[in-house]
Amino acid sequence: MVNKLKYLYNAHFYNNAKFNPNLTGLLIDRDRIVKLCFKQDKISPDWEMINLDGAYVYPGFIDSHTHSFSGGIYLSGIDLSECNSIAEVLEYISNALKDKQQCIFAWRFDEEKIAEKRFPTMKELDSVCPDRPLLLRRIDGHSCILNSRARAMISGIKSSAELLFAEDNDLAVNWLQDNLSEEEIIEAYKIAANTALKGGFTTVHTMIGDAQMSNQHFKLICDHLNDFPISFELYPQSFNIKDALELGAKRIGGCILADGSIGSHTAAMTIPYRDKDTKGILYHNDDFWRNFVSQAHKNHLQVAVHCIGDAAIHQINSAFATQDKEEVKELRDELIHCEVTPDSLIQEIAASGAVAVMQPAFDLLWGGNSGLYSERLGERYKIMNRFRTLSQNNITVCGSSDWYVTEMNIAMSLYALIHHHNPEERITPKEAIKIYTENNSWLNHTEESLGLIEEGYIADLSVMDTDFTNSFDWDKVQTLFIMKKGNIVYESH
């Protein structure tokens, strides 16, 4: 078959950090951009012409930190958030059973919204789902109830009550995730990929497994990377370096935890919280991290660690700082979240050479003087998520959603960077776009072939209805097309 070149035209193309009015088209050969076309260039009748109707074309946006599997599982489950009675809950479940094969996961259940003000009983669940395991989870994830089939299959549950909390709740949820079929796991990633496309992304970094069960399905996804319409960059979330090497990973970590979260008062702070007498928790000691990072570096693995409070960021950054600085820079070690950063800590990070992999939407959702951060930490909300100060100190800032925690939505992420609650930490639209294209590509060592609209670069393009260099309403922005390796893989209708 003859390969037809594709010609994209009638659009604004983002090149050299601006929409270049003289740039009139892009010529694509298979997976590459082969020519930037200007007014004087001739159009060949052999090209396949693709009219973009005045849209805005960006290098394919990249999300550098997500939890695709969990997010996909949630979206593939039965959403009970609209239910107002036990009868409705049972009806939703019984309808969904028709097209689900194995385990059944129902979530976003809120008994406050239900007329009866209670969970369904096990007997009620059995009446609609007698022979397949079913787990129904409360909206906050902190409790769940099982049908008889699931209860009989899961060993180790301590409580005799129907409603499960704490360890029993975790046990049940983990069991469900471990007992999905390969098809169901892949389906969760397909849902994540489609969510990414709709949100404007062509590549997503995704965390696989947890610290206990590192490689759950890493291999499976590796074998199916070409079955998804976007690229997944995989992180084995593990402390097991041998495992990571055997899996062929080029990095290790992700949300492997140095500390907890600000919402739950477990992020590790040097000064106690404002609303509770605690400094949070460091989950491991300094030696643990120093050894881990040093072993990973011996095997040339990039390291990524979750650290939110200043004590945790200091601890992880110090583990990086004891390594050869050139190696930290070369491997591009990641401080995931990197939220609470007083000036002195910023100097330490600049000296270690580590990268800050941040979530702009966290400030949008919880920042400002009346937000959750201020409630928990008082004035320290002002030294959180410091995109501008970090960048000005030559620390590379990468951007991500931490999906399912916040939406995978490029417009929301860029908006949050440009409109930080603290005016001193706002960055320009061009800097924001660079974070989600060039910087995020660099994090994955692909900056020479991905992240720009340039000749020779891979034809990953995000075609949007909005000029992000002007003011915009993030929740009105539409992704029009996504081109992945030269093929249109998403089109809005």
Residue among 259 and 438 whose Cβ is closer to Zn ion: 259
The yes or no reply on residue 255 touching Zn ion (CB under 5 A) is yes
Q: How far is the CB of 359 from Zn ion (least distance, A)?
A: 8
Closest to Zn ion by CB, 28 or 256: 256
**Residue of 454, 474, 478 lying closest to 414 (CA atoms):** 474
| Max CA separation in the chain (angstroms) | 78
CB of 256 to Zn ion, least distance (A): 9
Nearer CB in complex with Zn ion: 61/404: 404
Q: Which stretch binds Zn ion (CB under 5 A): 3-11, 185-193, 252-260, 454-462?
A: 252-260
Residue (of 340, 8, 300) closest to 317 by Cα position: 340
Binding piece for Zn ion, criterion CB under 5 A, among 275-283, 300-308, 316-324, 415-423: 300-308
In the complex with Zn ion, the residue whose CB is nearer, 402 or 431, is 402
By the rule CB under 5 A, 339 interacts with Zn ion: no
Amino acid at 385: N
User: How far is Cα 390 from Cα 383, in angstroms, rounded to an integer?
Assistant: 11
Judged by CB under 5 A, the chain residues 365 through 424 that form the site for Zn ion are 402
Q: Closest CB to Zn ion among 193 and 255?
A: 255
Contact segment (CB under 5 A) with Zn ion among 126-134, 216-224, 254-262, 443-451 equals 254-262
**Inter-residue contact 80 to 112 (CB < 8 Å):** no
Distance separating alpha carbons of residues 66 and 338, to the nearest angstrom: 15
Number of residues engaging Zn ion in binding (CB under 5 A): 3
Question: Which DSSP helix (H) or strand (E) runs through 19?
Answer: strand 18-19
Output the DSSP codes for 375-404: HHHGGGGGGBS-HHHHHHTTPPEEE--TTT
Residue 459 Cβ vs Zn ion, minimum distance, rounded to whole Å: 29
Q: Are strands 134-138 and 104-109 parallel, antiparallel or unpaired?
A: parallel
Nearest residue (CB) to Zn ion, 55 versus 255: 255
- What is the strand order of the sheet 78-79 is part of? 78-79, 104-109, 134-138, 143-146, 163-165
> 334 vs 460, which CB is nearer to Zn ion?
334
> Which tokens go with 466?
């909005």
Residue selected from 138, 306, 332, 421 as contacting Zn ion according to rule CB under 5 A: 306
- Shortest Å distance, C-beta 237 to Zn ion: 9
Minimum distance from residue 436 beta carbon to Zn ion (Å): 17
Distance CA 198, CA 416 (A): 18
Structure token digits, residue 111? 């008994």
Provide, rounded to whole angstroms, the least separation between the CB of residue 210 and Zn ion: 11
Structure tokens at 133: 């395991």
- Select the span of 142-150, 248-256, 359-367, 449-457 touching Zn ion (CB under 5 A): 248-256
Residue 478 Cβ vs Zn ion, minimum distance, rounded to whole Å:
27
DSSP 111: G
Residue numbers at the binding site for Zn ion (CB under 5 A): 255, 306, 402
